[in-house]
Amino acid sequence: MSANDVVQNYIGGEWRTSSADEQLEVTNPATAEVLALVPLSPPAEVDQAAQAAAAAFPRWRRTPAVDRVQPLFKLKDLLEHHFEDLSHTITLENGKTLDESRGEMRRAIENVEVACGIPTLMQGDFSEDIARGIDEYMIRQPVGVCATIAPFNFPAMIPFWFMPYALACGNTYIVKPSERTPLTMEKVLGLLEEAGFPKGVVNSVNGGPDTVNAILDHPLIEGITFVGSTPVARHVYSRAAANGKRVQAQGGAKNPTIVLPDADLGTTTRIVADSVFGNAGQRCLATALTITVGEARHAFAEAMAGIAASRVVGYGLEEGVEMGPVITPQSKARIEGLIEKGAGEGATLLVDGRNTVIRGYEAGNFIRPTILDGLPAEGEIAQTEIFGPVLGMIHADTVDEAIALVNSGRYGNMACVFTTSGAAARQFRYEAEAGNIGINIGVAAPMAFFPFSGWKDSFFGTLHGQGRHAVEFFTQTKVVVERWPPTRRHPS
Ligand code: NAD
What is the CA(232)–ligand 1 centre distance, in A? Answer: 6
pLDDT score at 375: 98
Among 227, 332, 384, 436, name the best residue to mutate to test ligand 1's pocket (greatest count of ligand atoms within 8 A of Cβ).
Answer: 227
Between the CA of 377 and the centroid of ligand 1 the distance, in Å, is 26
- Give the C-alpha separation, 221 to 205, whole Å: 13
Average pLDDT over residues 207-224: 98
CA pair distance 310, 150, nearest whole angstrom: 33
Q: Which of 212, 386, 450 to mutate to test the pocket of ligand 1 (most atoms within 8 A of CB)?
A: 212
Give the pLDDT band of residue 486 (cuts 50, 70, 90): confident
Strand 255-259 relative to strand 414-418, pairing = parallel
Query: Across residues 83-112, what is the average pLDDT?
Result: 98
> What ligand 1 atom has the least distance to the C-alpha of 252?
34
Is pLDDT above 70 for 317? Answer: yes
Question: What is the layout of strands, in order, in the sheet containing 414-418?
Answer: 348-351, 370-373, 390-396, 287-293, 255-259, 414-418, 436-439
Residue 492: pLDDT band by 50, 70, 90 thresholds? low
For position 4, what pLDDT does the model report? Answer: 82
Q: How far is the CA of 155 from the centre of ligand 1 (A)?
A: 11
Q: Would strands 287-293 and 390-396 be described as parallel, antiparallel, or unpaired?
A: parallel
List, in order, residues 6 or more apart from 283 with CB less than 8 Å away. 153, 154, 443
pLDDT confidence of residue 490: 60
Among protein residues, the one whose CA lies closest to atom 36 of ligand 1: 228
pLDDT in tens, 9-22: 999 999 999 999 99
- Nearest protein Cα to ligand 1, atom 9: 178
**Model confidence over 326-373: pLDDT tens digits?**
999 999 999 999 999 999 999 999 999 999 999 999 999 999 999 999
Residue nearest to atom 18 of ligand 1 (CA): 209
Do 469 and 459 touch, CB atoms closer than 8 A? no
Centroid of ligand 1 to alpha carbon of 225 (angstroms): 12
Give me ligand 1 centre to Cα 90, in Å: 17
Amino acid at 455: W
Q: Using most ligand atoms within 8 A of CB, pick from 26, 90, 94, 232 the residue to mutate for ligand 1.
A: 232
Whether the predicted pLDDT of 491 surpasses 90: no
Q: How far is CA 467 from the centre of its chain?
A: 14
Please name the residue whose Cα sits nearest to atom 17 of ligand 1: 209
Neighbours of 242 (CB within 10 A): 11
* Nearest protein Cα to ligand 1, atom 38: 284
146 flagged as catalytic: no
The sign of the dihedral angle between the CA atoms of 54, 149, 208, 361 is negative
Is the pLDDT reported for residue 3 higher than 80?
no
- Distance (Å) from CA 152 to ligand 1 centroid: 7
Amino acid at 70: Q
Residue type at 36 in one-letter notation: A
- 464 CA distance to ligand 1 middle (Å): 16
- How far does residue 459's CA lie from ligand 1's centre (Å)? 12
Residue 152 CA, closest ligand 1 atom number: 26
- According to the 3-state scheme, what is the secondary structure of the chain? CCCCCECCEEECCEEECCCCCCEEEEECCCCCCEEEEEECCCHHHHHHHHHHHHHHHHHHHHCCHHHHCHHHHHHHHHHHHCHHHHHHHHHHHHCCCHHHHHHHHHHHHHHHHHHCCHHHHCCCEEEEEEECCEEEEEEEEECCEEEEECCCCCCCHHHHCCHHHHHHCCCEEEEECCCCCCHHHHHHHHHHHHHCCCCCCEEECCCCHHHHHHHHHCCCEEEEEEECCHHHHHHHHHHHHHCCCEEEEECCCCEEEEECCCCCHHHHHHHHHHHHHHHHHCCCCCEEEEEEECCHHHHHHHHHHHHHHHCCECCCCCCCCCECCCCCHHHHHHHHHHHHHHHHCCCEEEECCCCCCECCECCCCCCCCEEEECCCCCCCHHHCCCCCCEEEEEEECCHHHHHHHHHCCCEECEEEEECCCHHHHHHHHHHCCCCEEEECCCCCCCCCCCCCCCEECCEECCCCCCHHHHHHHCEEEEEEEEECCCCCCCCC
Look over the chain and give the mean of its residue pLDDT values, rounded to a whole number: 97
> Can you tell me which atom of ligand 1 is nearest the CA of 230?
32
Share of the chain above pLDDT 70, in %: 99
- The atom of ligand 1 lying closest to the CA of 179 is 11
Pocket of ligand 1 (CB under 6 A): 149-153, 176, 178-179, 208-209, 212-213, 227-229, 232, 235, 250-253, 284, 385, 387, 413, 452, 454, 458
425-441 pLDDT, tens digit each: 999 999 999 999 999 99
Residue 257 CB: number of other CB atoms within 10 A? 28
Q: Which atom of ligand 1 is nearest to the CA of 458?
A: 41
* 2-28 burial: b if 16+ Cβ within 10 Å, else e: eeeeebbbbbbeeebebebeebbebbb
Q: Ligand 1, atom 42: nearest CA belongs to which residue?
A: 284
CA gap 126, 130 in Å, rounded: 10
| Confidence grade of residue 487 (pLDDT, cut at 50, 70, 90) | confident
**Ligand 1: residue whose CA is nearest its atom 23:** 228
Catalytic residue among 116, 146, 169, 284: 284
* pLDDT one-digit tens code per residue, 444-456: 999 999 999 999 9
Atom of ligand 1 nearest to the CA of 210: 20
The pLDDT of residue 247 is above 70 = yes
Q: Calculate helix-pair angle for 83-94, 70-81, nearest 10 degrees.
A: 70
Q: Of 90, 227, 220, which Cα lies nearest the Cα of 162?
A: 227
456 bridge partner residues: 411
Please tell me the distance between residue 156's alpha carbon and the centre of ligand 1 in angstroms. Answer: 14
Q: What is the pLDDT of residues 115-163, one digit of tens each?
A: 999 999 999 999 999 999 999 999 999 999 999 999 999 999 999 999 9
